[in-house]
Amino acid sequence: MENMGNTHQTPPPINFVLPQQPKRTGWKIFFGIVLGLSILANAVLVFALIIVGSIAMVGTGSKTFYNEKTIQQGCGGNKIAVIKIEGIIGNELAEEVKDHIETAQKDKSVKALIFRIISPGGAVSASDRIYYYINKYRSETGNPTVAFMDTLAASGGYYASAACDKIIAEPTVITGSIGVIMGHFVLQDLLTQKLGITPVIVKSGPKKDWPTTFEPVTEEQLAYLNDKLIMPTYERFVSIVAKARKNSLTIEQVRTLADGSVYNAQEALDNKLIDEIGYFPDAVKLAKSLANITNAKVVEYEKPFSFESLLGAKTVLQQLATKNGIYELTTPQMMYLWTPCGF
């Protein structure tokens, strides 16, 4: 007989249901809206700046304008403008110096210019153009100019200094290196032996490609280049220095100094290549004295931010990859340049 009273039944499991947390979507939506508005506002701002910059460039004939930065306060309506000639001198730097000079010339309160030179020199033509621009400013305005040699002002850097009324150099400056240099690469072995490339040159005369990168330079070629290029360019440099230092040196004395040697500040002063040794405040004092003023604000010019320059900037490799870049790399160039580590 079954015992119905002892039957054991397992109770059903109990499921505990936790209350659902409310979804916090409100803050996400809020921050999303704020982020979206921020991105939109920045995009509108950038677009507006581009439009304003484009209108300004169009309205001025794409002429570059510079901001005036005060580097030394002064009273009255007199200014002394400082123009930097910094780095290796090339076409771009020469044009920038020209723009700075023209900016200063339009400002009638500018009574003198100081050219702060930090350069080993550079291309012959670019150095000569800077020399011309400085002389042009002097003749058209009658305002004095001072070359202040900062750290290094050699070869083309000294060439540019020679256009100024006075030259003052820091005590530790390196200057001189009066002369011209030209160099190029000979790629014959690389092309023929390493790469198996044989260049074919068709020319109207034997001197058309002298010197060429595809064969070693001969003694005849060296004599030809020296006669046609090196010596005339060297003689121009000597005559420029002799003209600038006519009250101190004869052309024969300049020629003796113009053997490519560099000089420290004291040597340059002893050899009458500069007028004074001093620091930047001394250059300002000298400029005031030459301009017959006792007080002046000292300013320099800087290029404002440009989207055109930002968007149009190229790396060195990109520039060399162009046709012009390859041509400049392989073509010999005459340089007023101090090259202590080789060409």
Which pLDDT tens digit goes with each residue over 28-56? 665 566 666 667 666 666 555 555 444 44
Query: Is position 208 annotated as part of the catalytic site?
Result: yes
CATH of the domain at 287: 3.90.226.10
Q: Is residue 260 part of a domain?
A: yes
- The residue type of 140 is E
Q: Is residue 53 part of a domain?
A: no
Q: Is residue 97 part of a domain?
A: yes
Instruction: Print the domain residue range for 235.
Output: 66-337
Q: What is the pLDDT of residue 342?
A: 57
Q: Is residue 27 part of a domain?
A: no
Q: Out of 119, 127, 155, 161, which one is annotated catalytic?
A: 155
Q: What is the pLDDT of residue 237?
A: 98
Q: What is the pLDDT of residue 88?
A: 95
Q: Is residue 99 part of a domain?
A: yes
Q: Out of 28, 63, 69, 208, which one is annotated catalytic?
A: 208
Q: Is residue 46 part of a domain?
A: no
Q: Is residue 163 part of a domain?
A: yes
Q: What is the pLDDT of residue 98?
A: 97
Q: Please state the domain count of the chain.
A: 1
Query: Is position 289 annotated as part of the catalytic site?
Result: no
Q: What is the pLDDT of residue 42?
A: 65
Chain-centroid distance of CA 132 in Å reads: 19
Q: Is residue 285 part of a domain?
A: yes
Whole-prediction pTM value? Answer: 0.76
The ranges of the chain with pLDDT < 50 are 1-5, 52-62, 316, 320
